[in-house]
């Protein structure tokens, strides 16, 4: 028998045995179940002797056909037929069977199909019924009818509502929390409500008795308690308050065997069983209401799930087209965060392995890594395959598949070389050599400048941050085509900017270098780069909380109060401003002091 069913039957049997001793004996007496005459009494009764009648067993209308294994519902001591809403939970049938029964009508019970772990019949149903006017109800476990041809008569007793207030540890109401009411820890029938904006859930027409209350909300630990409900004839509603504690968080990532993120994988937090030395299945736990969290991995394969109770858990992941993975046992504690090792799923779909021989026009260029990616608009778009080096020229891509691919090769110098085209099981490709850009900085008269700040910006990304070398160039290697802006700043001489645009056809030219000369012929506060740059002296003074003065091309910090932003960040009087830029909610300030570049964040 499967583990899931084994646990279901084990826990169900415990609940059923307890119910048989308490619910059936007590509830059937207090809530009114008339099982009718015994089979022996019916057999001993003469054929012409009418069946005994009582106020609790009114004969149904003769014209109404009675189905097998049926229930008939009456109200109170006078045993008046009553219209009801019914929900019946039966082993082997999920979800519970529900229906409406008119006055004098019958409700047919599902067939009992299941046996316990000891191969004994589980002869019980759980029944919840409430009258049409919500004044009376019945909720208990009923044994199977001894005579399937005779209906069991169920008497509804006065019922009253239950209100549950759900708050967080600070006492603030929690809206959207799930509140579950059942007859036992694992009820075959249960009622679930969502809390309102005021953090309240209301259950109407609940008969008196012992109930199990479970409350859970995202980011909080599930709360379970016994609830003893007594009937109230007055207008007051029985109210109980539940405080949900913030639980632990478990985060991680789901990838395949090649390190590619698995998107949309089902991720389950599985608590260790308190009953035995094995792991309970999360699907089963979710059905029966024991604490378990179920989520999915995002576009980067990441997941983060909170509201986990203190204790031991395992994390399981599975996805369509992949196998499954189970983490090692981890211990978590409330209001803390734990990151686990990547969960690796093996692909069930097998693709061709590729062997690609890669040449670079400049034979001296060494490749450190190579990746293939499926282009946009293709099946599996974005899927990444990492190459495995076979020798100096050959790279193997396992389970990557043939077809249109984008290739990115990274050289030992960190330059990315790109190629796009069709690949077969064995292919040869040639990459353009990296292009070297030689960068010089000169002043307005054309004289070389040493120590100027030099940056290369491309689409908001910083590609290079260096200092000029006077008559010697700054060497920057790049793949083609290449277009970017070079920005140079010197605290005494001003600033300059130059756009470099090298087309792909430059790879066929004999020269392998490109020269870029940046002239410092503009003011420090006249450039549009870097992104977020602040070019207003007044605004800069506001950020610094200090005064700055201009001396030709220089902007010098004049007065710095110790309690100002600049003073607390370590900026001193006499520092020369190079650049001020906004980075998110903060401000980044770069100054020159004694020929050294200093950067602080305000």
User: In degrees rounded to 5, what are phi and psi of residue 16?
Assistant: -70, -40
How would residue 459 be classed by pLDDT, with cut points 50, 70 and 90? Answer: confident
* Tens digit of each residue's pLDDT (9 = 90 or more) over 102-114: 888 888 887 765 5
d(CA 207, CA 18): 18
- pLDDT bucket at 70, cuts 50 / 70 / 90: confident
Radius of gyration of the chain (CA): 38
Residue 602 has a pLDDT of: 86
Give CA–CA dist 183/324, Å, rounded: 35
| Average pLDDT over every residue of 192-204 | 93
Average pLDDT over residues 453-470: 90
Q: Which of 52-56, 64-68, 288-292, 565-569 has the lowest mean pLDDT?
A: 52-56
Peptide bond into 481 cis (omega under 30): yes
pLDDT band at 350 (very low <50, low <70, confident <90, very high): confident
What is the chain's mean pLDDT, rounded? 80
Banded model confidence at residue 347, pLDDT cuts 50, 70, 90: confident
| Comparison of pLDDT for 53 and 410, the residue scoring more | 410
Q: Which domains does the chain carry?
A: 3-158 (no CATH), 160-243 (2.60.40.1120), 248-345 (2.60.40.1120), 354-431 (2.60.40), 435-519 (2.60.40.1120), 537-601 (2.30.42.10)
Classify the phi-psi angles of 32: left when phi > 0, otherwise alpha if psi is within -120 to 50, otherwise beta: left
d(CA 1, CA 281) in angstroms, rounded, equals: 14
pLDDT above 70 for 116: no
**pLDDT exceeds cutoff 70 at 118:** no
pLDDT: is 4 or 196 the higher one?
Answer: 196
Least-confidence region, from 118-132, 212-226, 296-310: 118-132
Average confidence (pLDDT) over 147-165? 88
CA–CA distance from 126 to each of 28, 138, 143, 379, 559 (Å)? Answer: 12, 10, 9, 50, 82
551 pLDDT above the threshold of 50: yes
For residue 473, is it left (φ>0), alpha (ψ between -120 and 50) or beta? beta
Give the pLDDT confidence score for residue 513 in this predicted structure.
66
> Measuring CA to CA, how many Å separate 264 from each of 292, 294, 301, 304, 344?
19, 12, 7, 13, 14
Spatial contact of 254 and 267, defined as CB atoms under 8 Å apart: yes
State how far the Cα of 562 lies from the Cα of 558, in Å rounded to an integer: 13
CA angle 64, 65, 71 (to 5 degrees): 95
pLDDT of residue 395: 93
Q: Which residue has the higher pLDDT, 30 or 482?
A: 482
Q: Which tens digits make up the pLDDT trace of 298-326?
A: 989 999 988 888 888 889 898 877 888 88
Q: In the predicted model, is pLDDT for residue 275 greater than 50?
A: no
- CA pair distance 483, 190, nearest whole angstrom: 65
More confident residue, 492 or 291: 492
Proportion of the chain above pLDDT 90, given as a percent: 27
Give pLDDT tens digits for 495-519.
Answer: 999 998 887 665 555 445 688 999 9
Question: Is pLDDT at 287 greater than 50 in this prediction?
Answer: no
The residues near 358 (Cβ < 8 Å, ≥ 6 apart) are: 367, 370, 393, 394, 395, 407, 409, 428, 429, 430, 431
Q: Is the pLDDT of residue 144 over 90?
A: no
Comparing CA positions, the residue from 383, 247, 387, 234 lying closest to residue 321 is 383
Task: Report the C-alpha gap between 341 and 215 in whole angstroms.
Answer: 31
Reported pTM: 0.43
């Amino acid at each position: 028998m499967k583990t899931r069913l084994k646990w279901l039957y084990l826990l169900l049997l415990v609940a059923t045995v307890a119910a048989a001793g308490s619910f059936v004996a007590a509830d059937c007496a207090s809530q009114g179940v008339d099982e009718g005459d015994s089979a022996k009494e019916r057999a001993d009764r003469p054929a012409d002797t009418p069946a005994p009648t009582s106020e609790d067993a009114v004969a149904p209308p003769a014209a109404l056909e009675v189905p097998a294994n049926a229930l008939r519902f009456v109200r109170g001591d006078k045993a008046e037929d009553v219209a009801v809403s019914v929900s019946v939970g039966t082993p082997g049938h999920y979800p519970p069977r529900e229906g409406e029964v008119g006055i004098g009508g019958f409700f047919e019970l599902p067939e009992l199909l299941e046996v316990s772990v000891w191969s004994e019949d589980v002869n019980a149903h759980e029944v919840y019924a409430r009258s049409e006017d919500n004044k009376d109800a019945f909720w208990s476990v009923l044994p199977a009818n001894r005579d399937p041809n005779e209906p069991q008569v169920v008497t509804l007793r006065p019922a009253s509502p239950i209100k549950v207030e759900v708050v967080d540890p600070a006492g603030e109401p929690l809206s959207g929390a799930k509140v579950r009411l059942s007859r036992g820890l694992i009820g075959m029938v249960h009622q679930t409500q969502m809390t309102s904006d005021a953090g309240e859930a209301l259950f109407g027409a609940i008969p008196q008795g012992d109930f199990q209350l479970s409350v859970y909300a995202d980011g909080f630990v599930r709360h379970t308690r016994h609830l003893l409900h007594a009937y109230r004839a007055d207008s007051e509603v029985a109210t109980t308050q539940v405080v949900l504690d913030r639980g632990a968080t478990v985060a991680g990532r789901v990838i395949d065997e090649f390190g590619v993120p698995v998107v949309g994988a089902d991720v389950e937090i599985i608590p260790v069983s308190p009953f035995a030395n094995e792991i309970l299945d999360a699907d089963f736990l979710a059905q029966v209401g024991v604490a378990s969290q179920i989520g999915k991995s995002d576009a980067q394969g990441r997941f983060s799930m909170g509201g986990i109770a203190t204790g031991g858990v395992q994390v399981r992941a599975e996805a369509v087209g992949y196998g499954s993975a189970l983490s090692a046992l981890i211990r978590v504690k409330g209001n803390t965060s734990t990151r686990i090792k990547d969960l690796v799923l093996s692909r069930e779909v097998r693709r061709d392995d590729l062997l690609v021989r890669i040449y670079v026009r400049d034979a001296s260029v060494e490749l450190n890594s190579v990746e293939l990616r499926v282009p946009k608009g293709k099946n599996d778009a974005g899927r990444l395959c990492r190459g495995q080096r076979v020798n100096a020229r050959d790279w193997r891509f396992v389970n990557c598949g043939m077809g249109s691919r984008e290739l990115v090769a990274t050289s030992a110098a960190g330059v990315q070389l790109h190629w796009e085209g069709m690949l077969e099981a064995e292919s040869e490709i040639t990459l353009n050599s990296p292009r070297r850009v030689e960068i010089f900085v000169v002043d307005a008269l054309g004289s070389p400048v040493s120590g100027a700040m030099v940056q290369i910006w491309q689409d908001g990304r910083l590609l290079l941050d260096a200092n000029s070398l006077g008559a010697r160039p700054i060497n920057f290697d790049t793949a083609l085509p290449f277009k970017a802006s070079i920005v140079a700043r010197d605290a005494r001489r001003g600033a300059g900017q130059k756009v470099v645009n090298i087309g792909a056809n430059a790879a066929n030219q004999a020269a392998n270098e490109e020269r870029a000369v940046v002239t410092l012929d503009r003011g420090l506060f006249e450039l549009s780069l870097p992104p977020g740059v602040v070019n207003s002296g007044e605004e800069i003074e506001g950020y610094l909380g200090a005064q700055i003065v201009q001396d030709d091309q220089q902007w010098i910090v004049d007065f710095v109060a110790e309690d100002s932003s600049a003073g607390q960040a370590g900026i001193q009087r006499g520092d020369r401003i190079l650049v001020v830029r906004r980075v998110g909610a903060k401000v980044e300030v770069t100054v020159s002091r004694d020929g050294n570049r200093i950067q602080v964040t305000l």
